[in-house]
Chains A and B, each alone.
Chain A
Amino acid sequence: MEKIIDRLRHLVGEKLDLNLNPEEIDPDAQLIDGGLKLDSLSLVKLIALSEQEFKVEFEEDALSMESFASLRALAGVIGAHLNGRHSRPETATV
């Protein structure tokens, strides 16, 4: 779980043009409304980057405010999947 969070912090810090240092990103900070205040475009990018990074494909039900509440919540969704039973050879479905 911590490894996933760490990779997500790097994605957010390095690829989202938010001027944030990965080490400074609080995994429990709210992603959208408060905390990191991701705008709608950054959120779309985060979805795409997460899918690439972890080789997963989110199903629509996983695309919810709850899943994207914080990096920890998102890591939980990704982690549950990676350990789960839905994997496909190349791309897994969350």
Chain B
Amino acid sequence: MTLSIAALIEQNAGAAEKRENLLADDLYTFRMRELPQLLDEIDGVLLQAGAGTDSCLAVECNNSVPSALLALALMRAGRSFILAPPSIAENDLKPVPRFCTHRIVVSSPETATVPAANCLRIEANPFYNGKPAVPEKLYLRTSGSMGVSKIVVHSHASLLGNARNVVGKYGFTAESRASIPVPLAHMYGFGAEFLAAVIAGSSIDLLDKTNVVKYLDRERRFNPDIVFVTPSLCEMLLTAFRKPRTQYQAFVTSGQRIGEELFRAFDQVVAGRLINQYGSSEMGATAACDFDDTLDKRATEIGRPMEGVELRLQPCPDTGSELYCRHPWGFEGYLDEDGEWIAKAAADGWYRTGDIAVKTAGGSMIVTGRADASVNRSGYLVMLSDIERIVEKLEGVGEVAVVAGKKETERGQSIAAFCVLRSGIVLDGTQVRRRCASLMPPYAVPDEVRIVTELPLLASGKLNRRALEALVS
């Protein structure tokens, strides 16, 4: 059966067991039966702003009802759009891909008396390159943590196929109450949890800028039973949950590997309902353990592949075996900012995840690391080379090498930067670190910056990263 958002919206609005279900956020609360009318209003606002059905839109979305309605309206009409997290500041707007005709910024009003459709600020993209929109695509930015990201292409059909797998895996139904504290602009929040809840006709509560006290406030009000979180949020909630939780059917975590100790502690608090989902922007939800798997399995293994998904290991001499994935609902490829293909997904469908994994005796897999040099910090995959690129542009800095340390910090694995200064420059590590803080997100700032006179090299003349890693271990 082919799914369509248009049909789902109609079903959710009409079916007796779904029509009174909620779509809510900090401010708004709507019933599913109201959605067709609300989406019509959004269509009207888009048309009025000159964003016709042949335009491709860049949506800066927060976790709000207006954002969710906009995404549903666009999918209902088979329109193409890119979802991106909101710009941090008005005077520092994120770039809009040049193949998009318009930028839409979703704002949060002061009161719910403002119609949801009026929360959209629509402006023409002055750098639009004239490329015609390809219908029924969703574009997502890869989780490039320094703004160096590629654009992942999915079809609406593959998104819905992916989400349908999620529905079955965690048991979303019309009675489910799904809380979404993870960004709607990412595959995990939008493609996995939000669309799964829409397919099942569940009630949905969107949490923007989640913190523990906001989570607790909303948990008291909405009483969710399915929630997708990140390991960092698990860690924070662990300090805030002062009594065990038995109401949850599924507490799903993803986005980075969750530490085993944290998994076990959190699983106990949520009565054994914690599942670590394995996935990516490119492949969506790929694998997860089942609730009846043992705690040992759930805490360490990636679990059973989602329906139709195949996984295999490919031996690699330098790094161990790399994990490859073939997904019936995988991505189509990567675009650049002009809408030109950087790379198409492999013709045979196998995708290199970049993860190193080992097979267990039972045939499941455990991810043990990354093939490329990166660390997970506060839920973001941070490429060490991206940090190097920023630090080497600092005034006075000559060469730089960034390595991951062995220490665990509050934000994840530690990061250390080694800098060689230009001659005549006097700077200390603290000063360099402070400058880094103004140029990159807090989770990417190296925990330690050391000034050195030269970087250690191998006989080949290449940087000796192992020597630097030994210095910080």
- Which B residues lie within 8 Å of A60 (CB)? 216, 240-243
User: How far, in angstroms, from A59 to B241 measured CA to CA in the complex?
Assistant: 9
Contact status B243-A41, CB under 8 Å: no
Contact status A47-B442, CB under 8 Å: no
Of residues 22 through 50 on chain A, the ones whose CB sits less than 8 Å from some CB of chain B are: 32-33, 38-41, 43-44, 47-48
Closest 4 CB pairs of A and B: A40-B211, A60-B242, A44-B236, A43-B211
- Which B residues lie within 8 Å of A33 (CB)? 209
Q: Which residue of A lies closest to B239 (CB)?
A: A44
**How near does chain A come to B335, taking the closest CB pair, in angstroms?**
32
A80 contacts chain B at the CB level, 8 A cutoff: no
Of residues 366 through 413 on chain B, the ones whose CB sits less than 8 Å from some CB of chain A are: 378, 410-411
Q: Which residue of A lies closest to B181 (CB)?
A: A40
Q: List 28 A-B contacts (CB under 8 A).
A: A32-B211, A32-B213, A32-B214, A38-B211, A39-B442, A40-B209, A40-B210, A40-B211, A40-B233, A40-B236, A41-B232, A41-B236, A41-B410, A44-B236, A44-B239, A44-B240, A47-B212, A47-B239, A47-B240, A60-B242, A63-B212, A63-B240, A63-B242, A64-B213, A64-B217, A65-B213, A65-B217, A68-B213
A67 contacts chain B at the CB level, 8 A cutoff: yes
Contact status B217-A44, CB under 8 Å: no
The size bracket of the interface on B is 20 to 34
User: How far, in angstroms, from A74 to B214 measured CA to CA in the complex?
Assistant: 15
Contact status A65-B214, CB under 8 Å: yes
- Which B residues lie within 8 Å of A67 (CB)? 213
User: How far, in angstroms, from A38 to B236 measured CA to CA in the complex?
Assistant: 14
Task: Contacts A41-B410, A64-B217 given; indicate if A48 touches B239 (C-beta within 8 A).
Answer: yes
Task: Contacts A64-B217, A65-B217 given; indicate if A40 touches B240 (C-beta within 8 A).
Answer: no
**Residue from the list B216, B378, B410 in contact with A64, Cβ < 8 A:** B216
Other 6 A-B pairs with CB < 8 A, given A63-B213, A64-B213, A65-B214:
A40-B212, A40-B232, A44-B236, A44-B239, A60-B241, A60-B243
- Which A residues lie within 8 Å of B239 (CB)? 44, 47-48
